[in-house]
Amino acid sequence: LAPILVHGSRNPARKTIREEYLNGVRMLDGKATDALEASGLSFGRELIDVYVNCWGPKDDGKTFGKPGPLAGKALREGATMGRKGKGNIYVWATGNGGLTDDDCNCDGYTTSIYTISIGCISDHGLSTYYTELCASTLAVTFNGGAHREREENKMITTDLFHKCTEEFKGTSSAAPIAAGIFSLTLEANPNLTWRDMQHVIVETAQMTSPVDEGWMKNGAGKHFNHKFGFGRMDAAKMVERVKTWTNVGPHKTCVGQVFDKQRDVPSAGSMEFQFSSDACIGGDNQVDKLEHVVLTVSFIHRRRGDLSLLLISPSGTKSELLSTRRYDDSKEGLDDWKFMTVHFWGENPKGLWKVKVTDSPLDDNGQRMVSGYGTLHADTSKQEHDVEDLEQQVIDDQTKQQQNLVDQMKTKDPHVDFPYPPGVRRDHLNSSSVDALGASPQYSSNFNYNGVTSSQSIKRWKVPLASTLENPKDSKRADMIRKVQVATEEQPIQRVQVNAGYENPEIVCLGSTCSGVFLRYGLTLHGTREGV
């Protein structure tokens, strides 16, 4: 799924959502740039409440990927400034990489504090075979994908080419369900901010599948699990809770000291370092109750997938920020990667924090030589229909359908260009210069807001072809599709920054032997201040 933009009505006399508009932004079937992602994530942010995103870096168990600077800025500004200052709700699917030992904390979209990371559970509330362990997952919703061969309760929905399907699985279907719940919640209380919504989820989520290992309680008394976040979302409880909800206090961000003393990571062993935090006490950014905690780290390692990171709060709560990944054999390490966790929600951050780094290489039998933290990878026994295969099939079908359209257009005009460009920005659309060229709408999205119908569209107009070397006097004109481009300096920006580590690093151990070198780390606390 590309981003799906959802809006619910504000009719307090009704208990259901009356659809005012549902707007889709397609950007994954062509060359997607950082600028194009930013355009999609900021499109109509004063009109749109909830953005649903079910895409990101590959779930291959070896990729690290994060938003580019423009997309990251769009998320931050949308959450803090959109929806008339209350903030847009960005829902993000955690990913389906359980089969490859993936960890969604390696996905910089789901680990952003400005997104709500949603996982899924089976029709009986159990973990799914593609579940990714993750410290940034906030909650889960029902879906398919249990470890047995058949689901008793299938999800039936629409499919491509005007068909129906019973195979709608994965976190790509869990996130839209969560978005529907958010729409109901906003209908009950339109004054909720982006942080209020996250607080409501944490306060009302229900523990699911107690038989699944990994349930713990943090220092604030909240149950959490690396598979399920704070548990299963409960639409009825959320709607009822927000009817008497008091908005949370201002967002405070306490940036701690950066420690850059290099330390060896022992081979097939662990190391631990400790540091105290005063949570910016006495300052404008004092944090008394935690929401998100971000650990920014840089390291080089002989095999990145053998490394795991564990963060321990002053209350003794343990959160695994990075689990071992069987297929990640990169030697690049990481450069200032931000690992985010929600597991310390509500705790007091003042006191001694600990970080445990473990190197656990694989032996000849493919087993880990060192036992790390106890959140073992989920059961990944595969069903007959794998969700990754199904999603890839959908992508292939969409690509073929788009290519057929392009081929048809090229049959009529051999000079036609691919109709989905890099870097379209909303403020370039419907410009007078385009209309002056006799443009007509080629691709558009209509929406209705407060009874007023509006649209945004990409235009098509005629431009002259450049003269060719074979015929310099050729002044033939042809009907071409031309896209409005972003500023030149924005073009080279990579859409997703993948595996942002170090190129061919040389690991020089400070001692006799090591598996890598930890370069620097720093802790950032997000939360609220009491009495404000």
pLDDT surpasses 80 at 106: yes
Distance between CA atoms of 290 and 219, rounded to whole angstroms?
11
Residue of 502 and 311 predicted with greater confidence: 311
Q: How many other CB atoms are there within 10 angstroms of residue 184's CB atom?
A: 18
**524 with 255: CB under 8 angstroms?**
yes
**Which of 269-278, 300-309, 372-381, 432-441 shows the lowest per-residue confidence on average (mean pLDDT)?**
432-441
CATH 2.60.120.260 residue spans of the chain: 251-364+496-528
pLDDT surpasses 50 at 377: no
- Quick one: pLDDT at residue 156? 75
- Determine the distance from the C-alpha atom of residue 81 to the mean position of all C-alpha atoms in its chain, rounded to a whole number: 19
pLDDT surpasses 70 at 15: no
Q: How many other CB atoms are there within 10 angstroms of residue 315's CB atom?
A: 15
Instruction: Name residues whose C-beta falls within 8 Å of residue 55's C-beta, 6 or more positions apart in sequence.
Output: 1, 2, 3, 28, 93
**Quick one: CATH architecture of 251-364+496-528?**
Sandwich (2.60)
Residue of 481 and 169 predicted with greater confidence: 169
| Average confidence (pLDDT) over 230-248 | 97
- Quick one: pLDDT at residue 402? 62
- Quick one: pLDDT at residue 7? 47
CATH 3.40.50.200 residue spans of the chain: 4-247
| Average confidence (pLDDT) over 42-60 | 91
Question: For the chain, what percent of residues have pLDDT higher than 70?
Answer: 67
pTM of the model: 0.75
Judged on CB neighbours under 10 Å (0-12, 13-18, 19+), 57 is buried
C-alpha distances in Å from residue 79, one per residue of 180, 208, 245, 435: 18, 29, 20, 33
Instruction: Name residues whose C-beta falls within 8 Å of residue 483's C-beta, 6 or more positions apart in sequence.
Output: 417, 421, 422, 424, 458
pLDDT tens figures, 222-233: 999 999 999 999
Distance between CA atoms of 276 and 312, rounded to whole angstroms?
12
Distance between CA atoms of 170 and 132, rounded to whole angstroms?
11
**250 with 497: CB under 8 angstroms?**
no
Q: pLDDT band at 157, cuts 50/70/90?
A: confident
Among 76, 489, 523, which Cα is nearest to 341's? Answer: 523
Three-state secondary-structure class, residue 452? strand
pLDDT surpasses 50 at 503: yes
- Quick one: pLDDT at residue 99? 87
Three-state secondary-structure class, residue 319? strand
Instruction: Name residues whose C-beta falls within 8 Å of residue 81's C-beta, 6 or more positions apart in sequence.
Output: 45, 87
pLDDT tens figures, 278-320: 999 999 999 999 999 999 999 999 999 999 999 999 999 999 9
| Average confidence (pLDDT) over 351-369 | 81
- Quick one: pLDDT at residue 210? 79
Q: pLDDT band at 371, cuts 50/70/90?
A: low
Distance between CA atoms of 216 and 230, rounded to whole angstroms?
10
Instruction: Just give the CATH number of 4-247.
Output: 3.40.50.200
Distance between CA atoms of 428 and 432, rounded to whole angstroms?
10
Helix axes 171-188, 194-204, angle to 10 degrees: 110
Distance between CA atoms of 524 and 90, rounded to whole angstroms?
21
| Average confidence (pLDDT) over 347-365 | 89
